Structure 1
């Protein structure tokens, strides 16, 4: 599991609980390195039954290694498979500056992240909690987000099934990004979750788990 900017393993807990994944099977990878190539050891020699799941920036990192991992399956949630828009640089650097000065929760609350689902206050509280915990990684994550080259070529060479999930209301990584990631992969599927946004994993983990389960059934039927 690879979380997004200012995220911890909490972002995946609802999904994994809904899928009944044993705690001993869960491994969370910290995004504490500033370059895509820094994560190569994580994806080297994975057991063939490994399911790699990434959210947001973590999904981007995982997608860059789609052609260099021996995983059973790759799940990308809120992914942008393209290189970062240079126009984002000012906002990214501004967030990093505020996180370092004020803390993760204060920096994000000043930017009022848009959330959907039935419990928006609870979702925001979890986002702020993660942001405070992960604040010391913001400089590495900012550089990582700004310098990534784009993952479409790697996805086009993927050997495993690739599932891209996006909240239909996601403005950070719009559904067309997830669709592009799935279409790039030889064995790709795309699912848009109605009424959810970028933090679909927190907004409605059951819907995310259902998307994963249903896509698995489609794969099995195809085989």
Structure 2
């Protein structure tokens, strides 16, 4: 079964801006992935190239799973990974929109002045799913924990070159999932990423937003298993 194969591999986890590896927790719990199989990578370096060694050294036979900024980092290294699968949630494979620069700097300034929870709390979109209040509380707790990383993450987001070329040379299958209500990384961006990869798959997650992993982790797990079944 597809899910047994997923459970028997290490998962290298790249969380998003102001997130810890806990952003994947409910999703991995739903898949039955043992805690010892979860290998989070902190987004504490300001340059895309700084993540190459950490990813390539852990990728063989593993599942590389990224969310938002973490998905972007993974996508930029897709052609260097000997992974079993690359699974990306809420990915934008293009260079950052220059119109976002001022907002990114404003967020970083507020995080350093007010703390992660206060800064992010004023900017979070309405969360969907069955327990939005709990999802919000968990996201704000992660934002406080990762506040010291915001300067590196801001530079990383602003200076990325775009991942389409790397995705076009990816050897592992690339699974892309995007919330249907995601306004931060719309479906067209995820579709472009999947279409660039030689063995890409795209899945829209109905009635979920950018934080689909937190809004309905079970639905995200079911979607990944369904995508895995297409390789059988």
TM range (shorter): over 0.9
Partner of 1:13: 25
Partner of 1:62: 74
Matches of 2:65 and 2:54, distance apart in 1: 13
What does 1:145-184 align with in structure 2 at a 5 Å threshold?
145-184=157-196
Of 85, 88, 106, 1:73 maps to: 85
Matches of 2:127 and 2:92, distance apart in 1: 18
Q: Cα RMSD (Å) of the superposition?
A: 0.9
Structure 1 residues 118-127 or 59-68, which shifts more?
A: 118-127
Of 34, 39, 44, 1:22 maps to: 34
Of 132, 135, 148, 1:136 maps to: 148
Structure 1 portions without partners, runs of 5+: none
Partner of 1:98: 110
Contact 1:54-1:60 within 8 A present in 2 as well: yes
Question: Cα–Cα, structure 1 residues 33 and 110, in superposed 2: closer, same or farther, change >3 Å?
Answer: same
Please give the TM-score of this superposition, normalised by the length of structure 1.
0.97
Q: 1:45, CA displacement in angstroms?
A: 3.8
Q: 1:40, CA displacement in angstroms?
A: 0.9
Contact 2:60-2:81 within 8 A present in 1 as well: no
Matches of 2:110 and 2:57, distance apart in 1: 38
Partner of 2:231: 219
Of 29, 35, 59, 2:47 maps to: 35
1:87 aligns with 2:125: no
Q: 1:47, CA displacement in angstroms?
A: 5.0
Contact 2:128-2:207 within 8 A present in 1 as well: yes
1:88-134 deviations in whole A, cap 9, x for unaligned? Answer: 00000000000000000000112243311111111111110110000
Q: 1:44, CA displacement in angstroms?
A: 2.2
1:159-188 deviations in whole A, cap 9, x for unaligned? Answer: 010000000000110111111110000000
Please give the TM-score of this superposition, normalised by the length of structure 2.
0.93
Q: How many residues align?
A: 220
Matches of 1:47 and 1:66, distance apart in 2: 10
Matches of 1:87 and 1:39, distance apart in 2: 26
Matched residue of 2:39: which SS? coil
